[in-house]
């Protein structure tokens, strides 16, 4: 995935043990298409060598303001002018204090002051340093100055203590960088998404379920977060990692999913029902494991599960609802009919046999104007297009 294709990022390292994570970060940024220029403070070179960062970035690493390799002797101008963003990771307490004061006593601080591009800062320090009033004042001031603060995370620290101040993991910083360059079309919006399958018990060890990897729902959660929304994901059992920035609530059965949705729906602007909810559950669930006795096979009676999407769409203050339909035949006919039956403005349809478990998908958007096929693409790109389509249609319908 080339989400950072065409992006030139200056990755600045200041002194902190989290420098070791920046080696992985530079690889992840490059894997996603970015060109990365690494600039290190003198203190950062005590934690990780410029040789390591040069080998991983494939480009010269800069430390010194007086670097003779730069013909005009203006590394601070050259590097910051060519950049789409500067990311300081790790940002020490001292380096943030320098940024606040506008100091320019080494190459990294000088190029931050000389920048004409956005600055993102990933703090990394001991929890006491993070909580001290001067650090908190500096963070607030940087935010006021338009600097994006990424994190910090919480957990165990290199010093042996536990708390706030860990640098975000490389995967989180990568997600932040990709998100940073996406249009913020859902800023201030609250989005609720269901994803994955539900599982319905037969007895304590057996279940029936639907085939669903959850990939499309998770990709939509990520795309909505990238677009600036606050995202809650209600998920059936999947093997997927929660997208960065998204709040996830785990459920198993359709009724648990129904209850979790109803408990969370208040105040939501958009509801996207991607989950493959089991249409029926077993009425006569056995309290004990059903034993095989050689000749008889058990008979299961089914009762319908609540239709979560249809119920949400009927709420008096219903959010903007998007449904999904995975069909095996006559997609257009079934999708149009389903959209009308559920009473929703937009439905995404696909042919199930083409996309099950895959990373790519081919879908059509169905709305009051008809069917709009999207080009086949990676699920993440399709998810971004769907979020864009939701945004356009929502603003068109605003009174």
Residue choice 34, 275, 331, 390 for contact with ligand C5P (CB under 6 A): 275
Residue choice 100, 199, 220, 273 for contact with ligand C5P (CB under 6 A): 273
Closest CA relative to residue 320, chosen from 185, 189, 188, 183: 189
Residue choice 182, 194, 232, 391 for contact with ligand C5P (CB under 6 A): 194
Residue choice 305, 350, 364, 380 for contact with ligand C5P (CB under 6 A): 305
Q: Cis ω on the peptide bond leading into residue 197 (within 30° of 0)? A: no
Looking at beta carbons only, is 48 or 335 nearer to ligand C5P? 335
Least distance to ligand C5P, CB of residue 311, Å: 8
What SS3 string covers the chain? CCCCCCCEEEEEECCCCCHHHHHHHHHHHHHCCCEEEEEECCCHHHHCCHHHHHHHHCCCCECCCCCCCCCCCCHHHHHHHCCCEEEEEEECHHHHHHHHHCCCCCHHHHHHHCCCCCEEEEECCCHHHHHCHHHHHHHHHHHHCCCEECCCEEEECCCCCEEEEECCCHHHHHHHHHHHCCCCCCCCCEEEEEECECEEEEECCEEEECCCCCHHHHHHHHHHHHCCCEEEEEECCCCCCCCCCCEEEECCCHHHHHHHHHHHCCCCCEEEECCECCCEEECCCCCCCCCCCCCCCCCCCEEECCCHHHHHHCCCCCCEEEEEEEECCCHHHHHHHHHHHHCCCEEEEEEHHHHCCCCEECCEEEECCEEEECCCEEHHHHHHHHHHHHHHHHHHHCC
Select which of 19, 112, 117, 159 is catalytic: 159
Point out which span in 5-13, 234-242, 306-314, 363-371 binds ligand C5P (CB under 6 A).
306-314
Beta-bridged to residue 250, according to DSSP, are 235
Q: How many residues bind ligand C5P (CB under 6 A)?
A: 16
Residue 257 CB neighbours (<10 A): 28
Residue choice 308, 335, 363, 390 for contact with ligand C5P (CB under 6 A): 308
Rounded alpha-carbon distances, angstroms, from residue 299 to 59, 112, 294: 67, 70, 15
Looking at beta carbons only, is 99 or 313 nearer to ligand C5P? 313
Residue 83 engages ligand C5P in binding (rule: CB under 6 A):
no
Looking at beta carbons only, is 47 or 280 nearer to ligand C5P? 280
Known catalytic membership, residue 159? yes
The Cα–Cα gap between 239 and 212 comes to 11
Residue choice 307, 337, 367, 371 for contact with ligand C5P (CB under 6 A): 307
Looking at beta carbons only, is 135 or 253 nearer to ligand C5P? 253
Least distance to ligand C5P, CB of residue 140, Å: 42
Point out which span in 106-114, 160-168, 228-236, 305-313 binds ligand C5P (CB under 6 A).
305-313
Least distance to ligand C5P, CB of residue 277, Å: 4
Residue 35 engages ligand C5P in binding (rule: CB under 6 A):
no
Looking at beta carbons only, is 80 or 212 nearer to ligand C5P? 212
Near ligand C5P in 237-256, by CB under 6 A: 254
Binding mask 317-356 for ligand C5P (x = CB under 6 A): ------xxx------------x------------------
Least distance to ligand C5P, CB of residue 351, Å: 14
Point out which span in 239-247, 267-275, 368-376, 385-393 binds ligand C5P (CB under 6 A).
267-275
Residue 220 engages ligand C5P in binding (rule: CB under 6 A):
no
Least distance to ligand C5P, CB of residue 249, Å: 15
Active site residues: 159
* Binding-site ranges for ligand C5P (CB under 6 A): 194, 254, 273-275, 277, 279, 305-309, 323-325, 338
């Amino acid at each position: 995935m080339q989400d950072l294709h065409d992006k030139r990022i200056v990755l600045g390292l200041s002194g902190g043990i989290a420098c070791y994570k920046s080696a992985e970060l530079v690889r992840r940024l490059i894997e996603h298409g970015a060109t990365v220029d690494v600039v290190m403070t003198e203190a950062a070179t005590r934690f990780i060598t410029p040789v390591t960062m040069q080998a991983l970035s494939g480009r010269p690493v800069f430390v010194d303001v007086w670097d003779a390799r730069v013909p005009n002797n203006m590394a601070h101008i050259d590097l910051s002018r060519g950049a789409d963003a500067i990311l300081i990771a790790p940002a020490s307490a001292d380096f943030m204090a320098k940024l606040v004061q506008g100091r320019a006593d080494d190459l990294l601080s000088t190029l931050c002051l000389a920048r004409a591009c956005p600055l993102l800062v990933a703090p990394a320090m001991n929890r006491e340093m993070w909580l001290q009033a001067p650090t908190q004042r500096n963070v607030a001031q940087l935010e006021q100055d338009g600097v994006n603060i990424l994190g910090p995370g919480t957990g165990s620290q290199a010093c042996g203590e536990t708390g706030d101040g860990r640098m975000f993991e490389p995967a989180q910083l990568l997600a932040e960088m990709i998100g940073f360059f996406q249009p913020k079309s859902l800023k201030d919006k609250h989005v609720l998404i269901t994803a994955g399958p539900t599982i319905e018990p037969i007895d304590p060890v057996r279940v029936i379920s639907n085939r669903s990897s959850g990939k499309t729902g998770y990709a939509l959660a990520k795309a909505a977060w990238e677009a600036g929304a606050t995202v809650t994901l209600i998920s059936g059992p999947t093997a997927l990692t929660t997208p960065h920035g998204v709040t996830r609530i785990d459920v198993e059965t359709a009724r648990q999913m129904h209850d979790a949705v109803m408990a969370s729906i208040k105040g939501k602007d958009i509801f996207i029902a991607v989950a493959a909810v089991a249409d029926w559950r077993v009425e006569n669930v056995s309290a004990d494991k059903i034993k095989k006795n050689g000749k008889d096979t058990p008979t299961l009676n089914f009762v319908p599960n609540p239709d979560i999407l249809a119920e949400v769409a009927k709420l008096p203050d219903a959010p903007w609802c998007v449904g999904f339909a995975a069909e095996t035949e006559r997609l257009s006919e079934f999708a149009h009919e389903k959209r009308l039956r559920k009473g929703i403005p937009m439905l995404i349809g696909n042919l199930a046999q083409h996309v099950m478990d895959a990373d790519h998908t081919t879908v059509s958007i169905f709305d009051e104007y008809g069917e709009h096929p999207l080009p086949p693409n990676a699920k993440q790109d399709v998810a971004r297009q769907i979020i864009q389509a939701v945004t356009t249609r929502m603003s068109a319908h605003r009174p």
